[in-house]
Amino acid sequence: MFKKIISFPSKSKSIKLESISLYSVKYSLKPNSPTQKPLDIAPNSLTRSFSSSLIRNGFASLGRRFSSEAARESINYDVVIVGGGPAGLSAAIRLKQLCRENDVDLSVCVVEKGAEVGAHILSGNVFEPRALNELIPKWREEEAPISVGVSSDKFMLLTKKHAIPLPNPFDNKGNYVISLSQFVRWLGQKAEELGVEVYPGFAAKEVLFDENENVIGIATNDMGIGKDGSKKDNYQPGVELKGRVNLFAEGCRGSLSEKIIKNFDLRKKGQGQHQTYALGIKEVWEIDADKHKPGAVVHTLGWPLDHKTYGGSFLYHMQDRQVSIGLVCALNYHNPFFNPYEEFQNLKRHPAIRPLLENGTVLQYGARTLNEGGFQSIPYPVFPGGAIVGCSAGFLNVPKIKGTHTAMKSGMLAAESAFGVLHKGSNMKTYWESLKNSWLWEELHRARNYRPAFEYGLLPGMAISALEHYLLKGRAPYTLKHGKPDHEATHEASQYSPIEYPKPDGILSFDVPTSLYRSNTNHDHDQPAHLRLRDPKVPELVNLPKYAGPESRYCPARVYEYVSDDNGQLKLQINAQNCLHCKACDIKDPKQNIEWTVPEGGGGPGYSLM
């Protein structure tokens, strides 16, 4: 935890942290130091609970105490950024660039809940470098992990046994197949070289307000709290990070961003419609060299999804004989027996995909939700004290299946507005105006009708999308609306029959525990559950009898299981240690009874290839 933390009034000057210990690895950090190095942690060594840290440091036992609450210490910054993903790091880099261009010294902090930068980042990813070209024009010379250009691009409709080629609506010329987690690590290094203070392993748990309801920062969660609520010997209170400007870049369904959107009613002040979501499940394989075609890109629609469920699959050939394969399914599906994880296993059995993977090895597994609401669902992103950027606001371009370049651009625009606030005395409202005058806004406006078109089913959706793409080109005189929110779309189980999925063969398809092992996910078991039920009676009284316990299926990590108690009654068991931080439960639960909150910092998946 932070040691010897001192709170200073902010006067556009960086402060010093004399010593920082990140899970027993001690740093000496000085803001704006170009030699600061990122924490180097092997992806498979994610046993980073504070209990194990103390053991490594010679403390043999962990006692408990119920002492009075320790006061939180605080650090003041000019800008606090929550989330070390593409949007947050692009914002940090742009801020420091502006500081250098104008000979100004602003302190910038990025706090990231993953054990290291990139550990919680998952995406396809066919990368469009437009925003990166603007942010770091010489990225090729600076050894960005971007080297595999798209070499071929196919689009197919899958039936159970066939793959039917379709006209390709994607234009991936000039794009690259990358690992987003590796790219984000590189962005983190670039940010630190410019003097950004990046703190991985610290989870932002609380939004701080002043007496006028202005956002003034965040507080990280307490460390060393036992499952029973007692304080262990390694207890450390959370730290307050206070910013004159605060940018929230938590990614899709960010827990604090959602609270801010609700608190300031930003959805209505923006484009007005609710957000819609999908769940993406992905594996990275190593395949035979004679099957590997670096830069080959394949997208599909259709099977294994039914015609009423929106989604599709992707298959990208990366470097080093690696391919990423994934299934994306919209979370407004109706059938409560639908299981996204099992549908992904089915995908790999398809005759057009199976031969590619045979004799291969799975290197990594993961899952994450993504925004699909697009233009209609963009909230007003400015609030008193800061702004929301990236996928926390929902800037993903659905028909492109790309959101990294738009997330980065939003972070850059927010940074420019924040610099104007701090250096020129302007207002963060300029961020909203800059968004509406940017290529990001134009791109999302052109793409606005693709996703809601599929509310009418697969074939009508394809027809409307073709009309939009080839004839109207985004100039339609109408804007389609989304259907029900995802949690309201689930039908009662009495309308369906249970789906019998094939058993995993251990070659192409796998059970959940095997996949979880490949995600490197880890949480300290002795901590309060970060997945909370607003009403503990809802699972047994509503979800189980009415919807056949859908949480046991929509979760791709088997966090939720119904088990028999001593009386033979089924009760919901929450295996929070399995959580991949995908946020599907927070979105899909029919009664919105599950609240996703952050666990201890450093917990969760440990992605290195995603």
Q: Quick one: average pLDDT of 126-131?
A: 98
Most confident of 47-56, 463-472, 596-605: 596-605
Q: Active-site residue 361, yes or no?
A: no
Q: What percent of the chain shows pLDDT beyond 90?
A: 84
**Hey, what are 598's tokens?**
């952050």
Decide: 435 and 405 in contact? Cβ < 8 Å: no
Summary mean pLDDT of the chain:
89
- For residue 276, is pLDDT > 50? yes
- Tens digits of per-residue pLDDT, 490-511? 999 999 999 999 999 999 999 9
Q: What percent of the chain shows pLDDT beyond 70?
A: 89
pLDDT interval class at 34 (50, 70, 90): very low
Looking at residue 35, what is its pLDDT? 33
Q: Quick one: average pLDDT of 479-499?
A: 96
Phi, psi of 271 (to 5 degrees): -85, -10
Q: Active-site residue 329, yes or no?
A: no
Looking at residue 425, what is its pLDDT? 93
Q: Active-site residue 99, yes or no?
A: no
pLDDT interval class at 600 (50, 70, 90): very high
The answer to whether the peptide bond before residue 449 is cis (omega within 30 degrees of 0) is no
Looking at residue 503, what is its pLDDT? 97
- Tens digits of per-residue pLDDT, 230-257? 999 999 999 999 999 999 999 999 999 9
Instruction: Give the integer Cα–Cα distance in Å for 506 and 535.
Output: 38
Looking at residue 70, what is its pLDDT? 58
pLDDT interval class at 3 (50, 70, 90): very low
pLDDT interval class at 470 (50, 70, 90): confident
Helix (H) or strand (E) run with residue 513 in it: helix 512-519
- For residue 272, is pLDDT > 70? yes
Phi, psi of 233 (to 5 degrees): -65, -20
Looking at residue 336, what is its pLDDT? 98
Amino acid at 152: S
pLDDT interval class at 71 (50, 70, 90): confident
Q: Active-site residue 391, yes or no?
A: no
- For residue 77, is pLDDT > 90? yes
**Closest listed residue to residue 15, CA positions, set 4, 26, 27:** 4
Looking at residue 585, what is its pLDDT? 98
Which contacts (CB < 8 Å, 24+ apart) does range 50-55 have?
50/23, 50/223, 50/224, 50/232, 50/234, 50/236, 50/524, 50/600, 51/232, 51/234, 51/524, 51/526, 53/23, 53/24, 53/234, 54/233, 54/234
- Tens digits of per-residue pLDDT, 563-572? 999 888 999 9
What does the chain come to in residues? 610
Q: Quick one: average pLDDT of 474-493?
A: 95
Looking at residue 10, what is its pLDDT? 36
Q: Active-site residue 123, yes or no?
A: yes
Q: Quick one: average pLDDT of 417-425?
A: 96
Which residue of the set 10, 404, 406, 509 is catalytic?
A: 404
Q: Active-site residue 555, yes or no?
A: yes
Looking at residue 162, what is its pLDDT? 97
- For residue 16, is pLDDT > 70? no
Which residue of the set 368, 448, 451, 553 is catalytic?
A: 368
- For residue 268, is pLDDT > 70? yes
Which residue of the set 244, 257, 555, 608 is catalytic?
A: 555
Q: Quick one: average pLDDT of 328-338?
A: 98
Q: Active-site residue 252, yes or no?
A: no
Looking at residue 539, what is its pLDDT? 97
Which residue of the set 123, 276, 324, 377 is catalytic?
A: 123
Looking at residue 58, what is its pLDDT? 32
DSSP state of 115: S
